[in-house]
Amino acid sequence: MSIFYEVRREYELSDLTEADLTQSPFELFESWLKQAMEIKQISDPTAMIVATVDEEGQAFQRTVLMKAVDDESLTFYTNQNSRKGQHLQQNPKVSAIFPWLAAERQVLFSGVVEKLSEHENDAYFASRPFTSQIAALASHQSEVIKDRQTLEKHYHKLLEKYQGKDVPRPLNWGGYKIKAHEVEFWQGGEFRLHDRFRYFKKQNNWQVERLQP
């Protein structure tokens, strides 16, 4: 067994006080996101870890890229026949966390997903690079495959087939909005006394409370 008792550091970059809070958690989130995008050590500031649960209650996590944010939701895209898509079909409850470790910050969203419209899916798919469109068409996400060579052979076949043409969006490929009912902001603090604030919906209005670290 390996022991990592001594792997630790102090958190002292910043703090989060009541004066920093905004009326909507999405306003504060977008402010933090803008700052994260300016930190070179954060290579994927829009990356979030999304957790879902299967029919047996087993939790699964994976990293996806957030592609849009508005005043009540986050948007991401995926193959809706994938494992995460199957989980969300039977249980729309979801959580997503942005682990901005270089900024000593995390933001956790809890809520439910809603599928985007076909028009929204088509519009975003058309904006993707050609090779990304082909990759989405080539991969039957989460399904077992013999080896990588089989996948690459299929990818290159499609690459040649659609060169110079419009790539059709797979009908099972699309987006979800995470409609949040709770958002927690975590800012690392000295002496492990981290600052935590939780926004939650009450009678359709955002309330906020400080949590102990």
Annotated binding site for FMN: 62-67, 77-78, 83-84, 106, 141-142, 186, 196
**Burial class of residue 135, CB neighbours in 10 A (0-12, 13-18, 19+):** middle
| C-alpha–C-alpha distance, residues 183 and 198, integer Å | 6
Q: Which residues are annotated as a binding site for substrate?
A: 67, 124, 128, 132, 192-194
Structure-token match 């006394």, residue found: 193
Interior CA angle at 100 toward 98 and 106, to 5°? 55
Burial class of residue 24 (count of CB atoms within 10 Å of its CB; 0-12, 13-18, 19+): middle
9, 192, 198, 210: the catalytic one is 192
**Binding site: residue ranges?**
62-67, 77-78, 83-84, 106, 124, 128, 132, 141-142, 186, 192-194, 196
List the structure tokens of 18.
């009541």
Dump the DSSP string for 168-205.
Answer: PPPTTEEEEEEEEEEEEEEE--GGG--EEEEEEEETTE
Cα 194 from Cα 110, distance rounded (Å)? 20
End-to-end CA distance of the chain: 29
**Which residues, 6+ apart, have CB-to-CB distance to 165 below 8 Å?**
none
Distance CA 173, CA 160 (A): 21
Instruction: Give the β-pairing of 68-69 and 59-65.
Output: unpaired
> Quick check: is 192 catalytic?
yes
Q: Which residues are catalytic?
A: 192
